[in-house]
Structure 1
Amino acid sequence: MSHTISDDLLRRFDIPGPRYTSYPTADRFVEAFTEQDHVQALEQRKVGSMALPLSLYVHIPFCESVCYYCACNKVITKHHDRAAEYLRYLALEVALQVAHVGPGQNVSQLHLGGGTPTFLSDAELEDLMSMLRPHFTLVPGGEYSIEVDPRTVTEERLRTLARLGFNRLSFGVQDFDPTVQKAVHRMQPAEQVFALVAAARRIGFESINVDLIYGLPLQTPESFARTLAQVNELRPDRIALYAYAHLPSRFKPQRRIIAAELPSGSAKLAMLSASLDALQDAGYVYVGMDHFALPTDALAVAKRQGRLHRNFQGYSTQPDCDLIALGVSAIGRIGATYSQNAKTLEEYRDLLDQGRLPIVRGLALTRDDLLRRAVIMSLMCQGELQFESIELGHLIDFRQHFARELAVLEGLAEHGLVRLDATGVQVTETGWYLVRAIAMVFDKHLQVDLDRARFSKII
Structure 2
Amino acid sequence: MRDSLIQKYNVPGPRYTSYPTVPYWEEAQFSLEQWKQTLKTSFAESNSAEGISLYIHLPFCESLCTFCGCHKRVTKKHEMEQPYIRAVLKEWSLYCDLLEEKPRIKEIHLGGGTPTFFSPMHLIQLIGGILAQAEIAEQYEFSFEGHPNNTTRAHLQALYDLGFRRVSYGVQDYNETVQKAIHRIQPFEHVEQVTQWAREIGYSSISHDLVFGLPFQNLDDVLNTINQTNRLRPDRLAFYSYAHVPWIKGNGQRGFKDHDVPKDEIKRQCYEEGKNKLLAQGYHEIGMDHFALESDAMYQSFQAGTLHRNFMGYTASKTQVMIGLGLSSISDSWYSFAQNEKKLEDYYARLENNEIPVYRGHILSAEDLMIRRHILNLMCGFQTSWTEPEMQFPELVEVLGQLEEMQDDGLLEIKPQSIRVTEQGKAFVRNICMAFDLHLKRRRPESRIFSMTI
Map Cα deviations across residues 172-213 of structure 1 (whole Å, 9 max, x no partner): 110111111111111111011012112212222121111111
Query: Quick one: structure 1 residues 103 and 116, their matched pair in 2 at CA, closer, same or farther if it must change by over 3 Å?
Result: farther
Q: 2:427 aligns with which of 422, 433, 447?
A: 433
CA distance in 1, matches of 2:342, 2:386: 40
3-state DSSP of counterpart to 1:310: strand
In the alignment, which residue of structure 2 is the partner of 1:326? 325
Point out the more displaced range, 46-55 or 180-189: 46-55
Amino acid of the structure 2 residue aligned with 1:82: M
Query: Quick one: structure 1 residues 48 and 229, their matched pair in 2 at CA, closer, same or farther if it must change by over 3 Å?
Result: closer
Q: Is contact 1:31-1:360 (8 Å) kept?
A: no
CA distance in 2, matches of 1:274, 1:89: 45
Amino acid of the structure 2 residue aligned with 1:458: T
In the alignment, which residue of structure 2 is the partner of 1:421? 415
Q: 1:36 aligns with which of 33, 40, 47?
A: 33
Query: Quick one: structure 1 residues 241 and 47, their matched pair in 2 at CA, closer, same or farther if it must change by over 3 Å?
Result: closer
CA distance in 2, matches of 1:79, 1:96: 27
Deviation at 1:8, TM superposition (A): 4.0
CA distance in 2, matches of 1:255, 1:265: 19
Q: 1:122 aligns with which of 120, 123, 136?
A: 120
Q: 2:191 aligns with which of 190, 193, 198?
A: 193
Q: 2:443 aligns with which of 446, 449, 458?
A: 449
Q: Is contact 1:42-1:100 (8 Å) kept?
A: no
Q: 1:25 aligns with which of 16, 21, 25?
A: 21
CA distance in 2, matches of 1:47, 1:162: 30
Amino acid of the structure 1 residue aligned with 2:159: L
CA distance in 1, matches of 2:136, 2:52: 9
Query: Quick one: structure 1 residues 44 and 381, their matched pair in 2 at CA, closer, same or farther if it must change by over 3 Å?
Result: same
Amino acid of the structure 2 residue aligned with 1:454: I
Q: Is contact 1:310-1:320 (8 Å) kept?
A: no
TM-score by length of structure 1 reads: 0.94
CA distance in 1, matches of 2:215, 2:349: 39
Amino acid of the structure 1 residue aligned with 2:323: I
CA distance in 1, matches of 2:40, 2:277: 49
Map Cα deviations across residues 200-249 of structure 1 (whole Å, 9 max, x no partner): 12222121111111111221112222112111222211111111122222
TM-score by length of structure 2 reads: 0.95
Unaligned runs of 5+ in 2: none
3-state DSSP of counterpart to 2:320: coil
Point out the more displaced range, 198-207 or 75-84: 198-207
Amino acid of the structure 2 residue aligned with 1:304: Q
Q: Is contact 2:178-2:214 (8 Å) kept?
A: yes
Q: Is contact 1:35-1:358 (8 Å) kept?
A: no
Map Cα deviations across residues 264-287 of structure 1 (whole Å, 9 max, x no partner): 333222212221221111121110
CA distance in 2, matches of 1:114, 1:140: 27
Q: Is contact 1:58-1:326 (8 Å) kept?
A: yes
Query: Quick one: structure 1 residues 201 and 348, their matched pair in 2 at CA, closer, same or farther if it must change by over 3 Å?
Result: same
CA distance in 2, matches of 1:431, 1:267: 18
CA distance in 2, matches of 1:448, 1:179: 43
CA distance in 2, matches of 1:203, 1:9: 46
CA distance in 2, matches of 1:49, 1:156: 35
CA distance in 2, matches of 1:14, 1:128: 42
Query: Quick one: structure 1 residues 46 and 57, their matched pair in 2 at CA, closer, same or farther if it must change by over 3 Å?
Result: closer
Point out the more displaced range, 32-41 or 42-51: 42-51
In the alignment, which residue of structure 2 is the partner of 1:159? 157
Amino acid of the structure 1 residue aligned with 2:308: H
CA distance in 1, matches of 2:430, 2:263: 23
In the alignment, which residue of structure 2 is the partner of 1:68? 66
CA distance in 1, matches of 2:2, 2:198: 37
CA distance in 2, matches of 1:189, 1:43: 47
CA distance in 2, matches of 1:149, 1:447: 39
Query: RMSD in angstroms over aligned alpha carbons?
Result: 1.7
CA distance in 2, matches of 1:380, 1:28: 19
In the alignment, which residue of structure 2 is the partner of 1:364? 363
Q: Is contact 2:71-2:112 (8 Å) kept?
A: yes
3-state DSSP of counterpart to 2:453: coil
Deviation at 1:438, TM superposition (A): 1.0
CA distance in 1, matches of 2:383, 2:189: 42
3-state DSSP of counterpart to 2:174: coil
Query: Quick one: structure 1 residues 7 and 90, their matched pair in 2 at CA, closer, same or farther if it must change by over 3 Å?
Result: same
CA distance in 2, matches of 1:423, 1:56: 36
Deviation at 1:318, TM superposition (A): 1.6
In the alignment, which residue of structure 1 is the partner of 2:381? 382
Map Cα deviations across residues 142-181 of structure 1 (whole Å, 9 max, x no partner): 1211010011112332122211211110001101111111
Q: Is contact 1:109-1:143 (8 Å) kept?
A: yes
Amino acid of the structure 2 residue aligned with 1:453: R
State how many pairs are aligned: 450
